[in-house]
Structures are given as C-alpha cells and as structure tokens.
Amino acid sequence: GEDVEQSLFLSVREGDSSVINCTYTDSSSTYLYWYKQEPGAGLQLLTYIFSNMDMKQDQRLTVLLNKKDKHLSLRIADTQTGDSAIYFCAEIFGSSNTGKLIFGQGTTLQVKP
Amino acid sequence: DTAVSQTPKYLVTQMGNDKSIKCEQNLGHDTMYWYKQDSKKFLKIMFSYNNKELIINETVPNRFSPKSPDKAHLNLHINSLELGDSAVYFCASSQDLTSGTSGRYNEQFFGPGTRLTVL
C-alpha cells in the first residue's frame, strides 16, 4: 500500500537537537527522502538515503533508516530558528523508479529562541 | 534565475469557472509533475509527464487536464471548478526516470506553488 506517516508537530529550543520520525509501508522503495517546506514556498530536498544504507550524515543532519521496522528519522543537531519549517518524509513508490513520491503529512518544527 | 516557475501565484475564482495554471522549468529536465497540497498540508501527486508523455495519472477527476506543449512546460487546466478544488498546487520537475539508468535518487525540484481559492 501507499502510506507514509509522521507526527504532526515538534517544538524544540534553539541549540537542542530535533528528531523527526516517519514510518512507511512500501518495502521496495529504493530511496527515501526528507523535504523541507518554508512558509509560502515550495518543497526543497534536504537529504535522501538509499535503501541499502542504515545511516547518512550531512553536516547537522543525520538520517537513520531501519528497514526491518520501515522507520526513518531525521535528526537536526544544534537546531536554529531558521530550521523552523514543515518537514516531509517521502518514499519512491514501487521498485520501478517512476518518480512517484508518496509524502507523509509533514511535521511542523517550531524552534523557540 | 528561477528553476521551476508557476503562474499565477494566487488565483481566486468562482465555482463553475474554468482556469489554468502554467508551469515552466529551465533545468533541462525531462519529467514534470503536478501535486496538490490541501489545507492540512497533505501533499499528493496528481500527474507526471515524461518527454510530453503522461506516465502517472492518479485518481483525479477528469475536470483536471494536464497539457505539455513541450518538455519544459506542463500546464494544468481545471474545468467546472468546485469548492473542494481549493488548495495549493505545486509543479515539480526531475531528470528522466525512464531511461533505465539505475542509481538516480530523483531529486524533484518544486515551484513556489499556486494558491487556488474557489468561492
């Protein structure tokens, strides 16, 4: 089936770490993604992970993938007020790479000074 | 220089009208998409075109008709607008996915969105 789920809201203090969680259903997904949407703007790819990896680190971002549990997480270290946005988890649906992205509902990250 | 652009940014119209939203990308991509984002921020794919050919057509009312005059443009025409069509519509583009090349992570580049309000 096509289902990606995320918690809707997360609030952290500036300087803390943020962890946004996501579960997905399609075990044949080759890539999983994190997109960021700032207010009034389109989505921007933040990072992605290939399905044969467990972890990917990119500066302040760490992506963890647990294929057995179909669980994906995004950790943002030293969260800044500029990180306030909606974060979408997404998977490519199906093993044939048609480009069909299934998005989660988005997690609104609020960073308090 | 904007990579994926959409016009108009805002569209307010009456129920029953017909309207179009235009999208253009200057990235040289072969694949373009339309997504609908509802008031709860839920984002769902509507259509996808590759080299002017329709490859994804989700369960969308046939009042919605995408048109791709060339691979840099994908327009969305909506007939007989209904209240439930109110949403933000995003266009996106990515590299060709049907070439058979594996290992591409398919970054999709999104436009700024068109907020459609049907009264």
pLDDT digits (tens, 9 = 90+) for B2-36: 799 999 999 999 999 999 999 999 999 989 999 99
At A70, list the tokens.
């179909």
B25–chain A Cβ distance below 8 A for any pair: no
pLDDT of residue B59: 78
Write down the pLDDT at residue B100: 41
* Coil vs helix vs strand at B58: coil
**Arithmetic mean of pLDDT, B91-102:** 68
* Contact state of B56 with A99 under an 8 Å Cβ cutoff: yes
Give B111 to chain A, closest Cα distance, Å: 6
Q: Please determine, for residue B87, whether its predicted confidence score (pLDDT) is greater than 60.
A: yes
**Helix count and strand count (H, E) for chain B:** 0, 11
A55 touches chain B (CB under 8 A): no
pLDDT at residue B101, as a whole number: 43
State whether the Cα torsion A102-A88-A50-B105 is positive or negative: positive
pLDDT of residue B106: 75
Q: How confident is the model at residue A79, as a pLDDT?
A: 98
Chunk chain A into consecutive blocks of 10 residues (it has 113) and report each block's average pLDDT, rounded to whole numbers. 86 97 85 92 92 93 94 97 96 68 94 94
CA distance B77 to B65: 5
Taking CB atoms and an 8 Å limit, are A99 and B108 in contact across chains? yes
pLDDT in tens, B101-114: 445 567 889 999 99
Mutate to test the interface with A, among B9, B32, B42, B105 (most CBs of A within 10 A): B105
Tell me the C-alpha to C-alpha distance, in Å, between residue A40 and each of B11, B37, B89.
15, 12, 12
Q: CB-hemisphere CA count at 13 Å for B86?
A: 11
* Confidence at residue A60, expressed as pLDDT on a 0 to 100 scale: 97
